[in-house]
Structure 1
Amino acid sequence: MGRITARWPITKVSVAESNAARVDVLAVEEPLEIRVSGQPLVVTMRTPGHDVALAAGFLVSEGIISRGEQFRGAIHCGGPGGGGGENTYNVLDVSLTPGVRLPGREHARSFYATSSCGVCGKASIDAVHTVSSYVLTGDATIVNAAQVAELPETLRAAQAVFDKTGGLHAAGLFDAQTGELLVLREDVGRHNAVDKVIGWALLEDRLPLRGTVLQVSGRASFELVQKAVMAGIPVLTAVSAPSSLAVQLARDSGLTLVGFLRGQTMNVYTHPHRIDNPVEPLEQRVRA
């Protein structure tokens, strides 16, 4: 798997049995500096692999681009400082199509984004509420509830690197009508995994992602909802809990947000009309 995983000697301790020396497989975490036309934009901690898609998805999430034709290409540069030394593959310089507005100061992060925080370093909290190029309120996507219930198992079964390390998040994009897994990406950062999925879609010229469901392996944070909205994804499902801000953004943006998707049960927090045979919303029963 190359630099996606690394081997490390450990001591396996067991209360019931004798200790043993073993080699464990770890998920690699390394910094990636994303530049646009030579200008530093952000440094994010990520699992190497699909770096171009990661950068493309990040630019979509930041509202810098929204169509595949706007992304001209990308190249890995040398190490930090660009002194012409060994290429560490940890610096990626992106070029956009002529005429596309380059990111300004409002997009630059004041410090690096860790693998657990995709919005760290924003100059202003107001800048987090990025305006999407796509409107979800009129998206007519309907997905079968039984099909939704199968998504976590399908996602988990496809996580090849997680099987070796136990240390990666995953994001999978599914066709809402057929349930087909279109693409899956793994990363130490949940927001990176989503950006890699969105970047794949941009490079395949699939945006906006109408008629799809984004399944994530962890909780549904504000940043993941925002990324889904920016890519035009109408349904986001998660195996764990959403945050209050994530629910508010999903409600205001027209996104169907599902949390605690486990077994045959799920909580539909916003816009339940996209899940077939939903129960009547609580607020409607209360008013009645």
Structure 2
Amino acid sequence: MLSVAPITIQKISQHSASEYVADLLAVEEPLEIRLGFGPAHDRQQRTVAVTMRTPGHDEELALGFLFTENILSNPSEVVSVRHCGSDSDKKGNVLRVELQPEAVVDWQRLERHSYTASSCGICGKASIEAIQTICQTQIVSDFQFDPEMIHALPDKLRETQRTFAHTGGLHAAALFDETGRLVLVREDIGRHNALDKLIGAAFWQGWLPLSRFGVLVSGRVAFELVQKSWMAGVPLLAAVGAPSSLAVELAKEAGMTLLGFVRDNRYNQYTFTYASRTV
């Protein structure tokens, strides 16, 4: 189902009269992620995050977020993931992740997750050191790619973006194999959410680490996207847009190949690692 909202707009052009036409917008709504935890005789719940997202694949978004924040490490820790329907005002926008009774939650990790924000004011070195405490080893993979395969990815991604085709307002993240086949694609109004949905889907399927796949994102690459990809074990991260300086620095630390400006049959390679090799 497409997450779009109809609207009437006025189109104004320099060379023609204005007109009123029907249009579609990408839906943006808040999602509250709650954790259910504790022993069977004393279950508790706690809100861990509220994010603005495009409805759809909410379960994957929650799981991807919790995995990349190092709260979850294995699908076996999860009992269920479902929307809360008791509050009519929030129905569909509150999701509860029930953990096994023996699961232990490190709440300090969630309190520290703000280092991923570009505006947090923490220096690059401190941010990378924070990630290194979680991702203690570099990515090891013999994933191979060739330029022609990379050049073809943006068109393949665009063909799958049904909601983007109607609205022009969504980011996408795609998982692809060495042949260039798109295995999974997820869309969201937030680039981080799109990647969390993708990683969450892979997490639930038991595919992690993603050492045999690459990831393509539709926008620019900031520090957070490299961090999430490192958590998931992605050896190759490609982007239609530009990377930030800290994204490149973190990709080097991760042993990850980072490509930018993947469009118009060209791309820039910012890191050169043994994790991914051009064939």
Stretches of structure 2 that go unaligned for 5 or more consecutive residues are: 37-44
Q: Secondary structure at the match of 1:150?
A: helix
Q: In the TM superposition, what are the counterparts of 1:78-93 in structure 2 within 5 Å?
A: 78=85, 84-93=87-96
- Corresponding residue of 1:164: 166
**Distance between the aligned counterparts of 1:159 and 1:127, measured in 2?**
33
- The residue identity in structure 2 corresponding to 1:171 is A
The CA deviation at 1:69 is 1.8
| Alignment size in residue pairs | 266
- Corresponding residue of 2:193: 192
- The residue identity in structure 1 corresponding to 2:186 is R
Q: In the TM superposition, what are the counterparts of 1:48-127 in structure 2 within 5 Å?
A: 48-78=55-85, 84-108=87-111, 119=117, 126=126
- Corresponding residue of 2:143: 141
- The residue identity in structure 1 corresponding to 2:46 is Q
Q: Indicate the larger mover: 130-139 or 259-268.
A: 130-139
- Corresponding residue of 1:284: none
- The residue identity in structure 2 corresponding to 1:162 is F
The CA deviation at 1:211 is 1.0
Q: Is the 8 A contact 2:7 2:23 kept in 1?
A: yes
- The residue identity in structure 2 corresponding to 1:89 is G
The CA deviation at 1:73 is 1.6
Stretches of structure 1 that go unaligned for 5 or more consecutive residues are: 278-288
**Distance between the aligned counterparts of 1:171 and 1:95, measured in 2?**
26
Q: Is the 8 A contact 1:173 1:215 kept in 2?
A: yes
The CA deviation at 1:66 is 2.3
Q: Is the 8 A contact 1:259 1:268 kept in 2?
A: yes
The CA deviation at 1:103 is 3.9
Q: Secondary structure at the match of 1:270?
A: coil
**Distance between the aligned counterparts of 1:127 and 1:266, measured in 2?**
27
Identity %: 42
The CA deviation at 1:271 is 2.4
**Distance between the aligned counterparts of 1:34 and 1:143, measured in 2?**
37
Residues 1:22 and 2:21 aligned together? yes
- Root mean square deviation of aligned Cα: 2.5
Query: Could you say if the C-alpha distance between residues 137 and 210 of structure 1 is closer, same or farther in structure 2, counting changes exceeding 3 Å?
Result: closer
- The residue identity in structure 1 corresponding to 2:238 is T
**Distance between the aligned counterparts of 1:259 and 1:275, measured in 2?**
16
